[in-house]
Amino acid sequence: MTSAEHLYTKYSRTLSNCELFSGLNKEEWLDFLANFHEEKWSKNTCIINHQKFLFHFYIITSGRLKMYNVDDISHKEHTLFLLKKADVFDLFCLLDGIKHKVYYECLDNIKVLAISMDQLRSWLNRNPIFYKHFLSYSAKIMRTLEENVSQLIFANISTRLLKLLVDNVDHKSNQLELINDLPNKELAHLIGSTRAVVNRHLQELKKKGSISIARNQVEIKDINLLLQELENNVKNRK
């Protein structure tokens, strides 16, 4: 079995969920994966070497990774994206070839598939049809950033926290995913707040019966109550 065949067999389900490369068939994946290798990063690893992401592109195959920035003066931290299995990075470096001043921290033990930027650009030049996926994916990222900026400017902390919870509820199970076991400090970094403020709002939601908190995990007790709370907050802004 070749390296590409091994990677495809091992990660085919994850690769099929990778939105950026949607549409690749098995043969195309095998050709593509010949340029990839596996890397493992331990939980709590902080990656601050911007050069690393200027020259390499990654597909996450397991674990969560946060992309964040830190203000040079106040040292306040804000999480730009919470990346998960089948997500990719760094798209900005791929598109413009300029060093991206952001940082990454592993929230779990991470596994990634890595390819050099030059090899990826060469593959795209040989397969220009896939540029349309990159355009639509880039537009999705810009819309997400646009929405996040609007939330930070126009919505209060309570509304931001409610929206964060609702957006991460699995519609089949009505349970919280991706952020359910994050400490309040990490939730605060996602919505531009502080640990103490987030804790206070979570306790209020717990008293109202929409969530429960046990062993540092947030569980949804009544999704309808949560949605009603969010709707009321939005109405009160008008």
**Domain limits, CATH 2.60.120.10, in the chain:** 3-129
Q: For residue 122, which of 63, 35, 46 has the smallest C-alpha distance?
A: 35
What's the DSSP call for residue 176?
B
Q: At 64, give phi and psi (nearest 5°).
A: -120, 145
112, 45 Cβ separation under 8 angstroms: no
232, 225 Cβ separation under 8 angstroms: no
Residue holding tokens 């990634």? 112
Q: For residue 35, which of 138, 113, 144 has the smallest C-alpha distance?
A: 113
Average pLDDT over residues 71-98: 90
| pLDDT higher than 80, residue 134 | yes
> At 53, is the pLDDT very low, low, confident or very high (cuts 50, 70, 90)?
confident
Q: At 215, give phi and psi (nearest 5°).
A: 55, 40
Q: At 154, give phi and psi (nearest 5°).
A: -105, -25
> At 213, is the pLDDT very low, low, confident or very high (cuts 50, 70, 90)?
very high
Residue 18: exposure state from Cβ atoms within 10 A (0-12, 13-18, ≥19): buried
Instruction: Name the CATH topology of 155-237.
Output: Arc Repressor Mutant, subunit A (1.10.10)
Amino acid type, 90? D
Alpha helices in the chain (DSSP H): 3-16, 26-33, 50-55, 91-96, 117-126, 131-154, 157-167, 184-191, 195-208, 223-237
pLDDT digits 0-9 by tens, 136-184 = 999 999 999 999 999 999 999 999 999 999 999 998 888 899 999 999 9
Q: Would you call the peptide bond into 108 cis, given omega within 30 degrees of 0 as the criterion?
A: no
| pLDDT higher than 80, residue 107 | yes
**Domain limits, CATH 1.10.10.10, in the chain:** 155-237
> How are beta strands 211-214 and 217-220 bridged, if at all?
antiparallel
CATH H-level, domain 3-129: superfamily: Jelly Rolls (2.60.120.10)
**Higher local confidence (pLDDT), 202 or 237:** 202
* pLDDT (0 to 100) of residue 4: 92
> At 1, is the pLDDT very low, low, confident or very high (cuts 50, 70, 90)?
low
% residues pLDDT > 90 (the chain): 72
64, 82 Cβ separation under 8 angstroms: yes
**Token pair of 154, please?**
């126009």
| pLDDT higher than 90, residue 84 | yes
